[in-house]
Structure 1
Amino acid sequence: MTRGALFDPLFGGDRVAARLDDTAWVAALVAVEVALARAAAAHGVIPAAHAEAIAAVELDLDPAALGRAAVEGGNPVIPLVRALRAAVGPEVAPSVHPGATSQDVLDTAAMLLTGWAGEILLDDLRGAADAAAGLAAAHRDTPTTARTLGQQALPTTFGLVAAGWCAGLDRARTGLASVLRGLPVQLGGPAGTLDGLPLPVAADLAAGLGLADPGVPWHTERTRVGELAGALGVAAGACAKPATDVVLLAGTELGEVSEAAPGDSSSMPHKRNPIAAVTARAAARRAPGLVAVLLAAMDGEHQRAAGAWHSEWETLADLLRATGGAAARLRVSLEGLAVHPDRMVAGPPDVGRAPELVDRILGGRPPS
């Protein structure tokens, strides 16, 4: 996936990306090491003074240098631990990274980052759903034509169309929020046996980081990552649906809606493109392939995956960025969407129970 200052704002990923960049990764890795030291000290694994010395150290880590140093061992935790030990000095150095393996730190850091990015993602999903709900309420009785298989079908209301968008976004947001609340800490030691660590250390590590305690290590039991991938993929799909409808309804032949800040054309000045919806669709289109990579990585060998685990790191960050971008751009589209009833069906057609269904959907919305 293309990332950076040129394309992230265009596809709505800039706010999420700020919590997923290399600096954020390093900060999350260090946060895990500090929390691990404190949890270990609480159970006498290392001296409490050593834990505080580790927490107090100020590392000036260059992500590029850390990345180059990670090549030999296959992950950035190895050179990070080396740098931490050098920074705290020989007396405290043996207390750095107590009882853990690189995967413990990297998996836990990935969950931290997911939580940080997830806050923004949930906010934009809520914003998009609220905008859809506002459209549904305002146009509860506005008649329009339902279309099935691309053809005009029966009368409905634009309010029911927008309420359908809202229902999908709310459902996706609720499902994703549930997964995010359960983001787990990882602590299993070199072979997933917690060798040398009291069992409560994992719970204290989780509490220190605001993550869930899964009760057991999950080094090669990746259903948690699969559930997260699925929830993110569903959220992206929930964003793609209204974005697609907006693109179609804004077409010249229909002109039933228009965006507040339509995009210009470099060669056709008469065009007013629904560019927020277009870019929401573009971001959402990336999600299914990224979900597939994470699901394919669930077949980790024995007690440490050889390549499958490594494939998750950037893929998860890219999926968060894609889904976050879809939600952000859809929010912009729906919050500024203008509806043109005069371009919809003329006269007072029988819209059936559409207004009643709007009330039912809006009345059953989940809380923030």
Structure 2
Amino acid sequence: MSTCERAVRTPDREVRVARGALFDPLFGGDRVAARLDDAAWVAALVAVEVALAQAAAAHGVIPAEHAEAIAAVDLDVDPAALGAAAVEGGNPVIPLVRALRAAVGPEVGPSVHPGATSQDVMDTAAVLLTGWAGEVLLDDLRGAADAAARLAAAHRGTPTMARTLGQQALPTTFGLVAAGWCTGLDRARTRLAAVLSGLPAQLGGPAGTLDRLPLPVAADLAARLGLADPGVPWHTERTRIGELAGALGVAGGACAKPATDVVLLAGTELGEVSEAAPGDSSSMPHKRNPIAAVTARASARRAPGLVAVLLAAMDGEHQRAAGAWHSEWETLADLLRATGGAASRLRTSLEGLTVHPERMAASVPDGAGTGRAGELVDAALAARP
């Protein structure tokens, strides 16, 4: 993100206050949220405008020296002032373009935002931000899956009771339980990585016809930002956003499953696992709560509702959605925070998880076998991406 940050200065850049300085660390969303704050949004918007000018200059739409001047601008943006100025037009791109034009002066000003519309810049900036936050999210999903894999290998033959519908069923091994966690996390991460890598830039102009730009400018814009070629403009064709929402929701669910198991297995009556840094109670000092797993579940539970909002926003009217598109911006950022928080807190839980084999063995009948649990663990670990 450093390349983009060089294009814009904001008064509170050092503070990095995201949506919730009180709750982001608690629910694990602080690392993701740091890449989604107001200053990051402004940096992404400016980065898109700079890349657009450079792509337009490369294809003769604006003078090359104008693109150089736009790229060199040292813009001082107050996100609060930009937000207030965005009210009239309904998005922050309109006042940002005015500020950029004023910053580069009257000669270069007309070359700012060539052939684009506000949605082009907002959508492409949102994709950029998603990629920045996605790096953190994928790292935590990988970390959680790796921790589950280590537990699976270490406890390949550790007997425990499987439980179905809340009742004891047949013996299994804790290694196979952890291998199931690992498999789900790996599948979710692989799918999310594929969706993230395919997210394209957006460029269509006022009505999605590119009437003021040569066709190659869109692909050039995407390449400069490290995004996929958009091909046809996708102003009101939101399947990519729907796919992203689904992949994030599935990732949240993949985190919720092991977190739920940890909460149950750490209960006093079972005591089969415990977290490395369990949480205290303000009124019951004897309690040692599996708080990382608890907060992972809490974050994951927010995801389905946010996914639903993004899916409901797919029915944009004609060539510009009236409200549906606008509803995506904060919802997508919140979904990234929720899923990212679930992955982060689960990683903390699993990396510090202590297994108590003696408690597990206490519920297993003497001489009972565990089927082919060990072989299944081996197969699951061998198949990891």
Q: Give the TM-score band, short-chain normalised.
A: over 0.9
The equivalent residue for 2:117 is 101
Q: Is 1:305 paired with 2:321?
A: yes
The equivalent residue for 2:384 is 365
SS in 1 for 2:172: strand
SS in 2 for 1:283: helix
Mark the runs of 5 or more structure 2 residues left unpaired by the alignment.
1-17
Matches of residues 107-126 of structure 1 in structure 2 within 5 Å?
107-126=123-142
Q: Which of 205, 209, 214 is the equivalent residue of 1:189? A: 205
Aligned-partner Cα distance in 1 for 2:207–2:149: 50
8 Å contact from structure 2 (residues 19, 37) kept in 1 = no
Aligned-partner Cα distance in 1 for 2:157–2:104: 68
Q: Which of 289, 297, 302 is the equivalent residue of 2:305? A: 289
What is the Cα deviation at residue 349 of structure 1? 2.2
The equivalent residue for 2:196 is 180
Amino acid at match of 1:86: A
SS in 2 for 1:73: coil
Structure 1 vs Structure 2 CA RMSD = 0.7
Q: Which of 58, 63, 69 is the equivalent residue of 1:47? A: 63
Aligned-partner Cα distance in 1 for 2:360–2:44: 52
What is the Cα deviation at residue 3 of structure 1? 3.2
List structure 1 segments (4+ residues) > 6 angstroms apart after TM superposition: none
What is the Cα deviation at residue 214 of structure 1? 2.0
What is the Cα deviation at residue 183 of structure 1? 1.1
The equivalent residue for 2:283 is 267
What is the Cα deviation at residue 110 of structure 1? 0.1
Q: Which moved more, 1:345-354 or 1:43-52?
A: 345-354
The equivalent residue for 2:53 is 37
8 Å contact from structure 2 (residues 149, 178) kept in 1 = yes
The alignment's TM-score, normalised by the length of structure 1, stands at 0.99
The equivalent residue for 1:324 is 340
Matches of residues 29-178 of structure 1 in structure 2 within 5 Å?
29-178=45-194
Aligned-partner Cα distance in 1 for 2:246–2:143: 21
The equivalent residue for 1:13 is 29
Q: Which of 332, 344, 349 is the equivalent residue of 2:368? A: 349
Deviations 1:155-176 (A, max 9, x none): 0000000000000000000000
The equivalent residue for 1:216 is 232
SS in 1 for 2:88: helix
Aligned-partner Cα distance in 2 for 1:291–1:135: 31
8 Å contact from structure 1 (residues 143, 349) kept in 2 = no
Amino acid at match of 1:317: A
The equivalent residue for 1:26 is 42
What is the Cα deviation at residue 348 of structure 1? 4.5
Aligned-partner Cα distance in 2 for 1:214–1:84: 25
Aligned-partner Cα distance in 2 for 1:110–1:182: 14
Q: Which of 199, 218, 230 is the equivalent residue of 1:202? A: 218
Aligned-partner Cα distance in 1 for 2:153–2:39: 43
The equivalent residue for 2:252 is 236
Amino acid at match of 1:360: A
**Percent of matched pairs sharing the same residue:** 89
Deviations 1:308-364 (A, max 9, x none): 000000000000000000000000000000000110134442000000000000000
What is the Cα deviation at residue 147 of structure 1? 0.3
8 Å contact from structure 1 (residues 143, 348) kept in 2 = no
C-alpha spacing 1:348/1:260, structure 2 compared with 1 (3 Å): farther
Number of residue equivalences? 365
Amino acid at match of 2:167: Q
Mark the runs of 5 or more structure 1 residues left unpaired by the alignment.
none
